[in-house]
């Protein structure tokens, strides 16, 4: 039986799980079960899922889990954006399947745009107050959405993301992630999870409260729609995939916002061992250009530590489009990267 294959996961194991997993382990801590939320006061949500040649079973499980475990009062729509898939079943057969499901809207992109631009298109089309971006191989747990929306209600200038439980890419077992992790990165700009410093965790009055996160995972997060566009949305001159989550987090923190993990929201995600996405051109060069855009726009003199991790051949970046992002930084009166390192990520080692 193949362990990865085309999708970079065991397609056969995924198919055996089926289109909906009726029972997921509930890994929420005890205090989360005691919380109550007034759903009538929370923002109404558009869920945006991007897919490109996704496996049938993972895509349908993502959709069905959302429909089954999202309070209908909070759900405006599930926007499914097809980034120019070529697989036959993702065309008319998928349309026929989805037409029987409520609050589903599918957007077909005629040409491949990549995750970053496809998400932007979804956000532009969305009708909800809140945007929730999700990968097409995730499964939400019980009670996943109200804790995210409650935090945005308390502070509209916050991007929130759930505790991400790993779905094992070979067996598709649903595993438990730790409760005290947040998002971080190395100087070569690769996202990683790490334990949040004790001094940060100890500031909370109880462990169910949000954990500040220097950067966020790209596979699942929520933000107020108006605030998303106020602060520059995504950098649509980035290509396909890579670095958009780090750029977004830098921008929010440095320009007056926050990024937080919400412990009482749990979502499963298939973390793939390699990138299965098709790129037009060399994927390494495309991702490197994306990361250079981040370094040149946001990292000030600290960009030298990023460049020190790169090979001798550096991909060219369009300076005119880069200036547009620098103008956003100036318009939003953003702080410098030294402030970010001191106040948001002080544990980051300086070479």
Please indicate, yes or no, if residue 232 is contained in any of the structural domains. Answer: yes
Q: What is the CATH number of the domain that holds 264?
A: 3.90.550.10
HEC secondary structure over the chain? CCCCCCCCCCHHHHHHHCCCCCCCCCCCCHHHHCCCCCHHHCCCEEEEEEECCCCHHHHHHHHHHHHHHCCHHHEEEEEEEECCCCCHHHCHHHHHHHCCCCCEEEEECCCCCHHHHHHHHHHHHCCCCEEEEECCCEEECCCCHHHHHHHHHHCCCEEEEEEEEEECCCCCCECCCCCCEEEEECCCCCEEEEECCHHHHCCCCCCCCCEECCECCCCEEEEEHHHHHHCCCCCCCCCECCCHHHHHHHHHHHCCCEEEEEEEEEEEEECCCCCCCCCCCCHHHHHHHHHHHHHHHHCHHHHHHHHCCCCCCCCCCCHHHHHHHHHHHHHCCCCCHHHHHHHCCCCCCCC
Please indicate, yes or no, if residue 294 is contained in any of the structural domains. Answer: no
* pLDDT score for 261: 97
Please indicate, yes or no, if residue 259 is contained in any of the structural domains. Answer: yes
Please indicate, yes or no, if residue 205 is contained in any of the structural domains. Answer: yes
Domain ranges, residue 177: 11-270
* pLDDT score for 6: 57
Q: How many domains does the chain have?
A: 1
Please indicate, yes or no, if residue 281 is contained in any of the structural domains. Answer: no
Please indicate, yes or no, if residue 108 is contained in any of the structural domains. Answer: yes
Please indicate, yes or no, if residue 225 is contained in any of the structural domains. Answer: yes
Please indicate, yes or no, if residue 283 is contained in any of the structural domains. Answer: no
Q: pLDDT tens string for the chain (351 positions)?
A: 344 555 655 566 766 666 777 788 999 999 999 999 999 999 999 999 999 998 898 999 999 999 999 999 999 999 999 999 999 999 999 999 999 999 999 999 999 898 999 999 999 999 999 999 999 999 999 999 999 999 999 999 999 999 999 987 777 788 888 888 899 999 999 899 898 999 999 999 999 999 999 999 888 999 999 999 999 999 998 887 778 999 999 999 999 999 999 999 999 988 655 555 555 666 777 888 899 999 999 999 999 999 999 887 676 777 778 899 999 999 999 999 999 999 999 999 998
């Amino acid at each position: 039986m193949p362990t990865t294959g085309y999708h970079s996961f065991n397609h056969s194991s995924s198919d055996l799980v089926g289109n909906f997993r009726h029972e997921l382990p509930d890994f929420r801590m005890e205090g989360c079960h005691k919380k109550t939320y007034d759903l009538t006061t929370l923002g109404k949500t558009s869920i945006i899922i991007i897919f490109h040649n996704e496996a049938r079973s993972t895509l349908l499980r993502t959709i069905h889990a959302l429909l089954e475990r999202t309070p209908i009062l909070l759900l405006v729509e599930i926007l499914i954006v097809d980034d120019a898939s070529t697989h036959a079943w993702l065309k008319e057969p998928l349309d026929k399947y989805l037409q029987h499901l409520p609050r589903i809207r599918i957007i077909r992109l005629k040409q491949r745009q990549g995750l970053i631009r496809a998400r932007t298109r979804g956000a532009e089309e969305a009708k909800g107050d809140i945007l929730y971006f999700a990968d097409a191989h995730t499964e939400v747990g019980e009670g996943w959405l109200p804790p995210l929306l409650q935090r945005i209600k308390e502070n509209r200038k916050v991007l929130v993301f759930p505790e991400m439980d790993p779905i094992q890419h070979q067996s598709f077992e649903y595993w438990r992630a730790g409760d005290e992790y947040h998002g971080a990165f190395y100087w070569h700009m690769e996202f990683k999870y790490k334990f949040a410093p004790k001094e940060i965790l100890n500031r909370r009055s109880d462990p169910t409260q949000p954990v500040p996160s220097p950067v966020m995972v790209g596979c699942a997060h929520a933000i107020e729609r108006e605030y998303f566009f106020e602060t520059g949305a995504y950098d649509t001159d980035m290509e396909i995939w890579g670095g958009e989550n780090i750029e977004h987090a830098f921008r929010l923190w440095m320009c007056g916002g926050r990024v937080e993990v919400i412990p009482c929201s749990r979502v499963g995600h298939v973390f793939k061992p390699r990138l299965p996405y098709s790129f037009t051109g060399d994927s390494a060069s495309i991702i490197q250009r994306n990361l250079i855009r981040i370094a040149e726009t946001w990292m000030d003199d600290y960009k030298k530590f990023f460049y020190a991790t790169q090979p001798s051949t550096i991909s060219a970046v369009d300076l005119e489009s880069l200036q547009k992002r620098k103008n956003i930084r100036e318009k939003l009166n953003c702080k410098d990267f030294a402030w970010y390192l001191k106040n948001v990520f002080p544990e980051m080692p300086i070479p």
